[in-house]
Structure 1
Amino acid sequence: MGHFNFFSVHHFNITGVTITAPDDSPNTDGLKFGSCSNIHISNTHIGTGDDCIAILSGTTKMDICNVTCGPGHGISVGSLGKNKNEKDVNGLTVRDTVFNGTTDGIRIKTWEHSASKIVVSNFLYENIQMINVEKPINIDQKYCPHPPCKTKGESHVQIKDLKLKNIHGTSKKKVAVNLQCSKSFPCKNVQLIDINLVNKGTEAGPATAVCENVHGSSRGKMFPRHCLK
């Protein structure tokens, strides 16, 4: 299963760590955090068959820099909302990081029918390189890994105050930016600044963006063209 699991850990630094697992190894998360705060991760390489870094309920004030992720499922927040009594997640910074051959890069996932109402807020992703990533930017508020899910509904997890700045590289799929937010709790104040993602997959045509129930703004270079309201 996971390599390093942290629960209720505070003021902790991780640097100079290498984690290696095959890309087809199930549930081999690299670093997993729940109810943690003031975590700093730097100069680390993670290759797994699941999330390179998983950030779960109640985790706050996390700084990730100079990390290489690949293979794996990217740096994932969630899944969130499945269980009662989950806590807010806020204060995440991811910068100067490379995703190489991963299924996802920037990823937030919440269950489409939530048992808890929590807030995901104050995230900054800056200076991120994508190299042949299937889903470079992926907010999925209809997360359901084993359909059909028992209960259909809208996610009650509120995502707000996200800034994505200088995200560049190549996508293995045409949809390079997927912002699929909750109808009941739309994503708020999502800022896209200088995005440049090129489709290098088998599907022809330029990279595209898909937005559902997301409000925000954009400036600078924007490729694919944004679809924010």
Structure 2
Amino acid sequence: IAMLSGNTNFDIYNVTCGPGHGISVGSLGKDRNEKNVNGLTVRDTIFAGTSDGIRIKTWESSASTIVISNLVYENLQMIDVGTPINIDQKYCPYTSCQKLGDSHIQIQNVTLKNIWGTSRNKVAVKFQCSKSFPCKNVHSSDINLKHNGVDGPAITLCENIKGSATGKMIPPHCLN
């Protein structure tokens, strides 16, 4: 499932994803005339064998300046998912991409609540936000994701993000 330019007020629930790419917002920022994405809830959903669970992806050198806001992700089970939680503002799927700057897309007001299961990648929670437009108001609570590989426990990656965390947080959070 992909939420694209201009999508607003979607409630996705009781879905089983897999295989595939999970549930994404984006990619956004490739075209100049894109519109804001606002009001997405994903709840009571299972991701099994997907490359990502929940993903927000924006082009690294974006052509548009828009806002992605008011996203709620809750009660999500991850079963052998590549990267269960993934905010990627350095998206560039081509080797020939010209990395001319940061994403100009603002991601804000994101809630991640009661997400559990297993990750194929050591980085189970990835918050790779734009340096020019840092992610803000990202709130996590009760995350329990275990890495099912042999190279140690799951970790969280944080770049350019402001938020908070409460409750049980595995892997340990890096929000402040």
- TM-score under structure 2 normalisation? 0.98
SS at match of 2:20: coil
Instruction: After superposition, give the CA deviation of every residue in 1:193-222 in whole Å (9 maximum; x if it has no partner).
Output: 000000102x42111000000000000000
**Is 1:205 equivalent to 2:147 in the alignment?**
no
Q: Matches of 2:106 and 2:49 in 1, distance apart? A: 30
Among 116, 120, 123, the alignment partner of 2:64 is 116
Give the Cα separation in 2 of the matches to 1:69 and 1:220.
26
Q: Which amino acid aligns with 2:125?
A: V
Deviation of residue 104 (structure 1)?
0.3
Q: How does 1:185-196 map to 2 (within 5 A)?
A: 185-196=133-144
Q: Shift of residue 147 of structure 1?
A: 1.9
Indicate the SS of the match to 2:172: coil
Hey, what's the Cα distance between the residues in 1 that align with 2:107 and 2:146?
26
1:151 CA displacement: 4.2
SS at match of 2:19: coil
Whether 1:175 and 2:123 are equivalent positions in the alignment is yes
Segments of 4+ moved more than 2 angstroms: none
- Residue deviations 1:28-77 (CA, integer Å, cap 9, x gap): xxxxxxxxxxxxxxxxxxxxxxxxx0110000000000000000011011
1:95 aligned residue: 43
Identity of aligned residues (%): 69
AA of the residue aligned to 1:208:
I
Give the RMSD, CA atoms, in angstroms: 0.7
SS of 1:196's partner is strand
Counterpart pick for 2:162 among 211, 215, 224 = 215
**How far apart are residue 173 of structure 1 and its match?**
1.1
User: Gaps (5+ residues) in structure 2?
Assistant: none
Which position in structure 1 is the counterpart of 2:3? 55
Q: 1:130-141 counterparts in 2 under 5 A?
A: 130-141=78-89
- Of structures 1 and 2, the one scoring higher in RCO (CA 8 A, sep 6+) is 2
Deviations 1:100-125 (A, max 9, x none): 00000010000000111000000000
Q: Distance in 2 between matches of 1:68 and 1:223?
A: 23
Provide, for residues 150-195 of structure 1, a one-character-per-residue CA deviation record: whole Å limited to 9, x for no partner: 3421000000000000000000111100000000000000000000
Q: Which runs of 5+ in 1 are unaligned?
A: 1-52
Aligned length: 176
